[in-house]
Structure 1
Amino acid sequence: MIKVLFVCLGNICRSPMAEAVFRHQVKQAGLEDAISIDSAGTGDWHIGHPPHQGTRDILDQYQIAYEGLKARQVRPDDFYQFTYIIAMDDSNVVNLAAFAPEYTGNEKRASIHKLLDFASNQTITEVPDPYYTGNFQEVYEMVEESCSRLLAHIAAQHGLIK
């Protein structure tokens, strides 16, 4: 099983949006038995909360399910449980280091990427936080396109192309 963890700051806007969008794309591709998806935040302010209303509104607009999503914080074992950890911005990548257990070189660990590493437009490298900007539509468009390209990457890397 390939496991993907999306990470942002509070786990109520960007990462649950990416989780829901990617889960939808994986289901459409018929790969839900091969790919598992979750999301988490580097901060602990929103643990247990559902996605932000702006995230829920945009997912409703595109008829993408998000039932049961609740914010959680990154855990050290995530680095061993997941194949990929996908951060939304540079700050998330830096903050992930605080959670990472010491690496001995023997264990398999998740590879860490930023979501926009998979975007076609490489001039923008970070997904902006709509919690502060309110630009949920723009963020959705970035997430949707990048998740699609991430799925193609994972399918090719792991021989999942049907």
Structure 2
Amino acid sequence: MASMPFPIQASMVVGGMVFLVVWRLGVRRAWRRERERERRMLLHLDKFAPLLDEDGSEVELADGDCCICLSGGGGKPVRKILCGHSFHARCLERWVQYSVERYLDIRSFVRSPPSGFLVPGSAWPSCPLCKKVLPVIDEADIKEAVSAAIHFHSAYPTRIALLH
């Protein structure tokens, strides 16, 4: 580095700084998009699985233990979903978030041979016990994931043939 002329060193420093700024903006945008998706998911979660102790009273789990974390109630907030099962609120939020991330992962989209439409390859988020479908994904998230999958698969010349 000591033998390089000064303009080359300066251009390397400036180029590195520009790269870091652009990278940081991209990371921040992705982080904000993820936070917005989590916020919408929690709003949907509140619609179909309200907190049982909103009045401040302590509510115990129906079966005694949360099947996600395998521990007792312990005064933690509890959510009861449509199928009647109860879970710690935070455990259910994490379970749904994991399921949604897995469902919306663009790599899980595959081409369906019979219909020709892009369909998700993994299961819709469901109850950890009975596997009843949970309506937690916003329609905007589904459209965003499908358009991202189409863009991902059509951005490379070797994959264009798969869409036709």
> Where on the TM-score scale, by shorter chain, does this alignment land: which range?
under 0.3
- TM-score for both structures, normalised by structure 2: 0.24
- TM-score for both structures, normalised by structure 1: 0.25
Higher relative contact order (CA closer than 8 Å, sequence separation 6+): 1
